[in-house]
A and B are shown apart, each in its own frame.
Chain A
Amino acid sequence: MSAPTFEAEATPAPPRAAALRHLLADPLGRFGLALVLVFLLTAIFADAIAPYNPSAIAIPARLQAPSLTHLFGTDQLGRDVFSRVVLGARIALEVALVAISLALALGGAIGLAAGYGPRWLDAILVLVFDTVRSFPTIMFALALVTLIGPSLETVIVIVVATFAPSYGRIVRTQTQALKHAEFILAERSLGAGPARILAVHVVPNIVGPLFILASMDVPVVITIEAGLSFLGFGVRPPTPSWGTVLNDGYAFIGNTPWIILAGGLPLVLSTLGFTFLGEALRDAIDPRLRKEF
């Protein structure tokens, strides 16, 4: 029997407007939102924003310092670094969206089966998850690159393999918790089968938190992609990625530091932006953390 609370006001989820207001009231939230918006707009409108073709080589104009014609200067092949960074944002976003979606779908499906199905299935699937998760990412990346060569697709596969087990675990735990919830029991008593229960009653109740979690992984994926590309395991030249820009700039860090700055700064800023935004979102949605009155 629950303790008597306010019968007149059962705490419903705060209306979206109120949540948004709280988000915007938090200065870090505003900052994060601004950074994320800049990132998203840059990525989406990359073609329109980039003044030059990022792969256009122009040796005579190589290693120029930032100027009005080349906002971030040029790299060792005369390519406009600003355009490369702008296009790199798109690559980053693409990888993040595709990889996380795939990881969610794959991990989620397996997690649902593990959480709702019979114990033996759960035991097997958890074993699979844990095995995949125990591979160190770099070694796994190395192995994969050796097998299928470096490319954008390779990066996506690596990210999916890294994140799917974690998402799967989360989905599994949530599903297990719901499995014994009274409303699921009620649906079973009405005659609903497992397929219906999972699709109609379980999934909608777990996507919310899962979505927020996954969106906080976006900066992590961006960094992974940049890292892999930096190491040469990911995107291949001449495709611009923040990682390849970093790689290019690394060699010339002594006398032409702007290249590496241009590659690194957007990475840092977008990671910060997503992190602040994610935390502010979480605080805005959870009314129990509100301390005012």
Chain B
Amino acid sequence: MAELLEIERLRVRFRAVKPLNAWLAGIRDPMISAVADVSLSIPEGGAFGLVGESGSGKTTLGRAIMGLVPTEGGEIRLKGVPFPRRGGPALKAWRHQIAMTFQDPTGSLSPRFTVRSLITEPFRIHGVTGRDLGAEARRLVSLVGLSPDFLDRYAHELSGGQARRVGIARALALDPRLLIADEPTAGLDVSVQGEVLNLLARLRHELGIALLLITHNLAAVRLSAERLGVMYMGRLIETGPTATVFRAAAHPYTAALLAAIPIADPTRHRERAIAGEVPSLLNRPPGCEFHTRCPYVQARCRAEAPAKREIAPDHLARCHFPLGAGGSG
């Protein structure tokens, strides 16, 4: 199956500290790599779960794919066509094929627009003529499970879950081939998180659209994406089929994430939480960047950065001693 989206060794850097302050504070490199050497691909109609905690770079990666942040090095290809760095009409065409929903559901909707205007905005932006915008609005709104009454409401009159649906409807207006959903369950009550995730699954089936699901909620990925990737400090430290990773995570960080999920069963206690916190991106640890917190750390981990290792076909991890591969303690 042809790959819809291919990302190869992508890098995104930001200046975190002003040059003068950096010099004063003795920081050699004021730039941080929010995304460092990330490669992944998504087939047509496929779903990929990008998992990580705050600061892992997953949101930045999503935005880089949309061209909202500049990238340095590496390539993004959509159906083989590289990302148009020069902007202009090619970039606009790119954004016709990929759409994104954002973490803050009401914040991502322009406050003075009705739902109808919001959903049909993409048509106006891309100068699509010859379509009955009213009909399109009704179609899109019912596609996401909202009644047509919502068309006349404003963003601040919607609940979090409703606003998310509007964001999804807007993203689907021009029939994109890939939908990037950035934290679609953030801020939602547990009892309604499933609504959004089930909606995304249904849309995938009905429209054949591919999905990049960016989330810190591992459980959401279990049913929503057949493959997942775990990010830590801007690097993809493990990728593989979701079921496999859940069953037998190879990287200790992935295992820690899985173990940290609170279990709604008072008779079972989860393992001790992993110690420490994510190191500052300004001061990346040498060798394997996870070594400062890894319960299985060995001398090699402190000195040498691990390359991607194939644990099984299509299951990769950046670890010298992947779990269960006979190499860890």
Contact = CB atoms under 8 A, between A and B. Distances in A.
A2 B182 CA distance: 16
Nearest to B127: A191
Interface stretch (B22-30, B152-160, B199-207, B292-300): B152-160
Interface string B143-182: 0000000000010110110000001001000000000000
A188 B107 contact: no
Output the residue of B102, B110, B154, B167 with the most chain A CB within 10 A.
Answer: B110
A191 B125 contact: yes
A177 to B, nearest CB: 13
Interface string A67-83: 00000000000000000
Contact of A185 (B68, B95, B96, B159): B68
A253 interface: no
A192 B113 CA distance: 15
Interface string A1-25: 1100001001011000000000000
Contacts of A201: 110
B68 A183 contact: no
A188 B95 CA distance: 9
Contact of B125 (A183, A196, A204): A196
A102 to B, nearest CB: 26
B122 A191 contact: yes
B157 A186 contact: no
Interface of A (DSSP majority class): helix
A79 to B, nearest CB: 51
A84 B157 CA distance: 52
A1 B189 CA distance: 12
B104 A7 contact: no
Given A1-B186, A185-B108, A189-B99, A7 B159 contact: yes
B187 A1 contact: yes
B249 to A, nearest CB: 25
Select the residue from A12, A183, A200, A204 with max chain B CB neighbours within 10 A: A183
Nearest to A13: B156
A182 B102 contact: yes
Nearest to B89: A191
Interface in A205-229: 205
Interface string A174-205: 00000001110111111111001000110011
B103 interface: yes
B100 A182 contact: no
21 contacts: A1-B187, A2-B187, A7-B159, A12-B154, A12-B156, A13-B156, A181-B107, A182-B104, A182-B108, A185-B108, A186-B108, A187-B110, A187-B125, A188-B66, A189-B95, A190-B99, A191-B95, A191-B96, A191-B125, A192-B121, A205-B111
The 9 lowest CB-CB distance pairs between A and B, nearest first, are A191-B95, A182-B107, A186-B108, A182-B108, A191-B92, A189-B66, A182-B104, A183-B110, A189-B100
Interface of B: 63, 66, 68, 91-92, 95-96, 99-100, 102-104, 106-112, 121-122, 125-126, 154, 156-157, 159-160, 167, 170, 186-187, 189
